[in-house]
């Protein structure tokens, strides 16, 4: 992945040097979303983290009326100077530019980018207390993406989602999946589905959550399509690494690893095959309208 030409975003709050937060209640004071419920009941001691909430298990927390518990921790605002921070700022910056174009050209609308918060260990968010074990997530309440960069190490070493230099594009896929949830929020999809989930049974809620996550995968593919047209930034093995990552973090594979069997009704992110399929759909077409995972008959 060649990202030198990407514009670096300054929409970053870097809390990595503020030290881990402690205490502070749970996510979303007035109620947990699906991801929060999974945290309570399905912690995997074998992996040291609940894999079913990785890659955005909490990015769709409802948390109406929830506020940050206590003061916001100190942060550095702007483009980080370190190599990893530069990479994240580059992916974020290019996503801002590409989605601005997509919203204008395809939707006739203006795009308002999210902020991205880097942290270590734990921090506070508009959805409540956030910990590294939750994985990257998007909080609709403050329109921020939260990322503990140690997740990238887990992606390569623990979940074997990628290897070598190709991990960079897999990491870009993780970031742009979360940004995909912000796109859903701007389009009104996220609040509409969350409201509907409140009156659903568990299986129906999970099924709706899967559709949310698969659409975010598709939106990540849409970004990659437009960025490739602009920069020709992809290198040999990059797409394969993203697809391998999508497969590695599918609910079916993670359930098999942690409990030895698969329960499709409990899926919250979709199978590896579904995640690969929808990322490829977005990447091949580059069209937002092709990412309707809620359409009847979509798989």
Backbone angles phi, psi at 118, to 5 degrees: -95, 135
Q: What is the pLDDT of residue 268?
A: 58
CA–CA distance, 293 with 43 (Å, rounded to integer) = 28
Question: CA-CA distances (angstroms) from residue 35 to 31, 74, 84, 136?
Answer: 11, 27, 27, 12
Residue 242, pLDDT above cutoff 90: no
Q: How far is CA 246 from the centre of its chain?
A: 12
Classify strands 137-139 and 144-148 as parallel, antiparallel or unpaired: antiparallel
In the chain, % of residues over pLDDT 90: 45
Does residue 34 have a pLDDT over 50?
no
Q: Which residue has the higher pLDDT, 269 or 54?
A: 269
Q: Look at the alpha carbons of 271, 140, 64, 19 in this order and tell me if their dihedral is positive or negative.
A: positive
| Model pLDDT for residues 176-210, shown as the tens digit of each residue | 999 999 999 999 999 999 999 899 998 898 889 88
- Model pLDDT for residues 164-173, shown as the tens digit of each residue: 677 899 899 9
Distance CA 49, CA 45 (A): 7
Q: 20: exposed, middle or buried (C-beta count within 10 Å: 0-12, 13-18, 19+)?
A: middle
Write the pLDDT tens digit of every residue in 52-107: 333 444 444 444 444 444 556 667 899 998 999 999 999 999 999 999 999 999 99
What predicted TM-score, i.e. pTM, was given to this entire model?
0.81
Exposed e or buried b per residue across 73-89, where buried means at least 16 C-beta atoms within 10 angstroms of its C-beta: bebbeebbeeeebbbbb
* Token digits of residue 153: 């190490």
Local confidence band at 160 (pLDDT 50, 70, 90 cut-offs):
low
117 by Cβ neighbours in 10 Å (0-12 / 13-18 / 19+) ranks as buried
- How far from chain centre, in Å, is Cα 93? 16
Mean residue pLDDT of the chain comes to 78
Q: What secondary structure, in 3-state letters, does 71-83 show?
A: CCCCCEECCCCCH
Here the tokens at position 47 are 């992996």
């Amino acid at each position: 992945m060649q990202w030198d030409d990407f514009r670096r975003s300054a929409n970053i709050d870097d809390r990595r040097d503020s030290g881990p937060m402690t205490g502070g209640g749970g996510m979303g004071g007035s109620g947990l979303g699906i991801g929060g419920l999974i945290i309570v009941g399905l912690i995997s001691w074998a992996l040291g983290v609940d894999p079913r909430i990785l890659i955005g298990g909490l990015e769709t927390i409802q948390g109406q009326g929830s506020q940050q518990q206590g003061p916001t921790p100190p942060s550095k605002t702007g483009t980080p100077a370190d190599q990893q921070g530069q990479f994240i700022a580059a992916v974020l910056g290019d996503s801002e530019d590409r989605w601005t174009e997509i919203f204008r050209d395809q939707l006739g609308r203006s795009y308002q980018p999210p902020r991205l918060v880097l942290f270590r260990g734990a921090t506070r968010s508009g959805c409540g207390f956030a910990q590294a074990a939750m994985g990257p997530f998007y909080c609709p309440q403050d329109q921020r993406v939260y990322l503990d960069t140690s997740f990238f190490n887990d992606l390569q070493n623990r979940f074997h989602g990628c290897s070598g230099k190709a991990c960079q594009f897999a990491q870009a896929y993780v970031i742009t999946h979360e940004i995909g949830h912000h796109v859903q929020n701007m389009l009104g999809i996220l609040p509409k589905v969350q409201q509907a989930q409140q009156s659903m049974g568990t299986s129906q809620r999970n099924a709706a959550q899967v559709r949310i996550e698969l659409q975010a995968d598709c939106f990540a593919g849409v970004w990659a399509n437009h960025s490739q047209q602009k920069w020709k930034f992809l290198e040999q093995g990059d797409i394969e690494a993203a697809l391998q990552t999508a497969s590695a973090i599918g609910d079916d594979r993670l359930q098999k690893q942690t409990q030895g069997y698969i329960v499709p009704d409990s899926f919250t992110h979709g199978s590896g095959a579904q995640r690969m399929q929808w990322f490829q759909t977005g990447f091949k077409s580059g069209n937002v309208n092709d990412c309707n995972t809620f359409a009847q008959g979509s798989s």
